[in-house]
């Protein structure tokens, strides 16, 4: 029997009543969406107008998507060269971001009395949310004070010499190659040169920092999955470069729980843990001072938390950059036999025994080695990120145009190092001879441009001297002792650029020369 249910008429809403029941929330959401859209459009139009006179790709005028796409493509350095070619030395690459390839402008922004400050992106490098280190400190007065505190350690006065640490790790690298990776006729022991160089730079920086290497070279493995985790963190850094405000999201609960911490067993956190254990051991009463950077930092009066942070900062800042420089210079040499042979001849003339590493002053006095190192830094500046500086409140005239206060102006390192106006038609070619053919004045000026790969003025890289010793000696000692044949000449190495270079799969066949 069918069941019939009778509903009292009072409970049945009529059509009009139904409409009013739903229309209130629907129209509320619609108004909200409309307000947000109008707000976004007004903001976008305002930001487009502020910099509409600066040339650049159409999408970049409205959105950060242009940068996001280029930064995540792995070819950011090429995008920077392309925009310079197409639009000139000052290019708009985001709603509030410009990039500049004029060396004078870059120097001006970082000069001692300049009113520019570090840009918004720097804050994204904080290790502890809300707590600044030398890289992230945007307050000029505090940055200056911190830098003064740290300079002694980087200068290498206080009875410590970088060179010993670099030499120890060069010998360790050579020992590893000699014992594990020498191929004989008919046998191949392929070696990923990119990985070994990364191990080398990590062991150098830990050796000079705490007086003991991490041990990447002795273990011959990616300890604490550091390199693997570093590679997976770079895409996040790339996103932050395009949209620094995202770091406010990352630093909030619950995402902040995923940030590295010194209790982690792998990655950045593990490295922080190692740094902390060295700091704690050194501060323990009765512990012996050691002639290293940590000791200099302690003597400068740094707090416990600052010591840990700055040990960690320099491990990261001092390894990814230096390894990119050595890796690219070696690749350029292996694929330019005339340059490699000329360098090997220069090194052979030194008649140094194999037990000895070339002393830094000797390496620096070699004309061809110096030309090779300069040319490697020029062709592939190791930092490809923008290092934006913020235009002071009153605005400034850059490359002849007015740029309003608050604009973020980045360094177009890659474009500047290949610009036709500076380097001529062959700026895109690795050719160390160019340095030997210049007259003294010209060479001085060009060297000053390459030097900008380390920043300048108030923000100049503190590890510049160590990096120079490491790159010069590292390249020289490897090509002096070994021949490297690229295993896959059509794709010699995997290399990607964003904020930093990432390199891997640089497979080589190694034989002894001496």
Question: What are the φ and ψ backbone dihedral angles of 417, each rounded to 5 degrees?
Answer: -75, -5
Rounded-to-integer distance, Cα 156 and Cα 6, Å:
93
Establish if 172 lies at the interface with ligand HEM (CB under 6 A).
Answer: no
Closer Cβ to ligand HEM, 205 or 510, answer by number:
205
Binding to ligand HEM, residues 108-127 (CB under 6 A): 110
Shortest approach of ligand HEM to residue 309 CB, angstroms?
A: 11
Token couple for 265: 């067993």
Q: Does 234 bind ligand HEM (CB under 6 A)?
A: no
Stretch that binds ligand HEM, among 181-189, 447-455, 481-489, 497-505 (CB under 6 A): 447-455
**Considering only residues 347-406, where is the footprint of ligand HEM by CB under 6 A?**
382-383, 387
- Residue 270: asked if its preceding bond is cis (omega within 30°), the reply is no
Asked whether position 325 contacts ligand HEM by CB under 6 A, the answer is: yes
Binding piece for ligand HEM, criterion CB under 6 A, among 14-22, 46-54, 461-469, 498-506: 461-469
Contact region for ligand HEM (CB under 6 A) — 35-43, 244-252, 274-282, 454-462?
Answer: 454-462
**Of 360, 398, 461, 493, the one binding ligand HEM by CB under 6 A:** 461
Distances (CA, A) of 289 to 183, 279, 283, 296, 335: 43, 11, 9, 10, 46
Cβ-based nearer residue to ligand HEM, 57 or 125: 125
Q: What is the rounded CA–CA span in Å between residue 19 and residue 25?
A: 11
453 binds ligand HEM (CB under 6 A): yes
108 half-sphere exposure, CB direction, 13 A CA radius: 15
Q: Please count the other Cβ atoms lying within 10 Å of the Cβ belonging to residue 145.
A: 12
Q: Near ligand HEM by CB under 6 A, which window of 188-196, 245-253, 315-323, 501-509?
A: 315-323
* SS3 of residue 96 by DSSP: coil
The answer on whether 461 is annotated among ligand-binding residues is yes
Give the SS3 label for residue 295. Answer: helix
| Sign, Cα dihedral of 202, 204, 210, 215 | positive
Candidates 80, 91, 134, 194; binder of ligand HEM (CB under 6 A) is 134
CB atoms within 10 A of CB 286: 4
- Binding-site size for ligand HEM (CB under 6 A) equals 23
* 160 near ligand HEM, rule: CB under 6 A: no
Of 160, 284, 273, 165, nearest to 213 by C-alpha is 165
In the set 174, 223, 462, 469, which binds ligand HEM (CB under 6 A)? Answer: 462
Please choose, out of 78-86, 184-192, 460-468, 489-497, the segment that lies near ligand HEM by the rule CB under 6 A.
Answer: 460-468
DSSP 139-180: -HHHHHHHHHHHHHHHHT-TT--HHHHHHHHHHHHHHHHHHH
Pair type for strands 191-192 and 507-512:
antiparallel
Instruction: Compute the least distance from the CB of residue 33 to ligand HEM, in Å.
Output: 41
- Positions touching ligand HEM (CB under 6 A) are 110, 134-135, 147, 313-314, 317-318, 321-322, 325, 382-383, 387, 453-455, 459, 461-463, 466-467
Please state the residue numbers annotated as binding site for heme: 461
């Amino acid at each position: 029997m069918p069941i019939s249910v009778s509903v009292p008429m009072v409970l049945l809403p009529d059509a009009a009543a139904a409409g009013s029941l739903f229309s209130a929330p629907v129209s509320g959401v619609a108004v909200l969406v409309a307000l947000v859209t109008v707000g976004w459009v007004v903001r976008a139009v305002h930001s487009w107008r502020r910099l509409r006179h600066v040339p650049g790709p159409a999408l970049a005028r409205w959105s950060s998507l242009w940068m996001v796409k280029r930064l995540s493509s792995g070819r950011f350095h090429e995008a920077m060269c392309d925009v310079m070619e197409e639009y000139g030395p000052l290019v708009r690459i985001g709603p509030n971001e410009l990039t500049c390839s004029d060396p004078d402008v870059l120097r001006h922004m970082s000069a001692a009395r300049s009113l520019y400050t570090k840009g918004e992106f720097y804050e994204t490098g904080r290790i502890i949310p809300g707590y600044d280190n030398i890289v992230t400190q945007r307050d000029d007065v505090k940055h200056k004070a911190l830098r003064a505190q740290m300079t002694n350690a980087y200068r290498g006065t206080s009875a410590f010499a970088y060179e010993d640490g670099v030499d120890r790790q060069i010998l360790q690298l050579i020992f590893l190659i000699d014992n594990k990776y020498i191929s004989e006729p008919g046998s191949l022991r392929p070696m990923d040169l990119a990985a070994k160089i990364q191990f080398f730079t990590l062991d150098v920086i830990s050796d000079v920092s705490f007086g003991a290497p991490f041990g990447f070279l002795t273990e011959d493995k990616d300890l604490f999955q550091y390199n693997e985790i570093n590679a997976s963190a770079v895409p996040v850094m790339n996103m932050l470069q395009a949209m620094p405000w995202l770091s406010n999201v990352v630093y909030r609960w619950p995402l902040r729980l995923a940030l590295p911490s010194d209790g982690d067993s792998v990655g950045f956190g593990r490295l922080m843990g190692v740094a902390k254990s060295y700091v704690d051991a050194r501060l323990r009463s009765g512990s012996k001072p050691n002639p290293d950077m940590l000791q200099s930092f302690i003597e400068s009066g740094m707090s416990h938390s600052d010591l840990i942070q700055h040990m960690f900062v320099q491990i990261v800042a001092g390894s990814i950059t230096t390894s990119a420089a050595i890796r690219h210079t070696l690749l350029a040499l292996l694929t330019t036999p005339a340059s490699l042979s000329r360098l090997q001849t220069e090194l052979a003339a030194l008649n140094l025994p194999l037990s000895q590493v070339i002393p830094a002053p000797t390496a620096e006095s070699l004309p061809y080695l110096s030309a090779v190192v300069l040319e490697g830094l020029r062709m592939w500046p190791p930092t490809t990120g923008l290092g934006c500086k913020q235009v002071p409140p009153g605005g400034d005239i850059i490359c002849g145009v007015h740029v309003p206060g608050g604009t973020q102006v980045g360094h177009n390192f890659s474009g500047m190092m290949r610009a036709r106006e500076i380097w001529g038609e062959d700026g895109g070619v690795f050719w160390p001879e160019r340095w030997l053919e210049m007259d003294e004045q010209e060479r001085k000026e060009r060297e000053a441009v390459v030097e900008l790969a380390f920043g300048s003025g108030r923000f100049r890289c503190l590890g510049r001297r160590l990096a120079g010793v490491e790159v010069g000696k590292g390249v020289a000692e490897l090509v002096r002792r070994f021949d490297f044949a690229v295993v896959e000449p059509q794709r010699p190495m995997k290399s990607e650029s964003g904020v930093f270079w990432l390199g891997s799969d640089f497979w080589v066949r190694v034989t002894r020369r001496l």
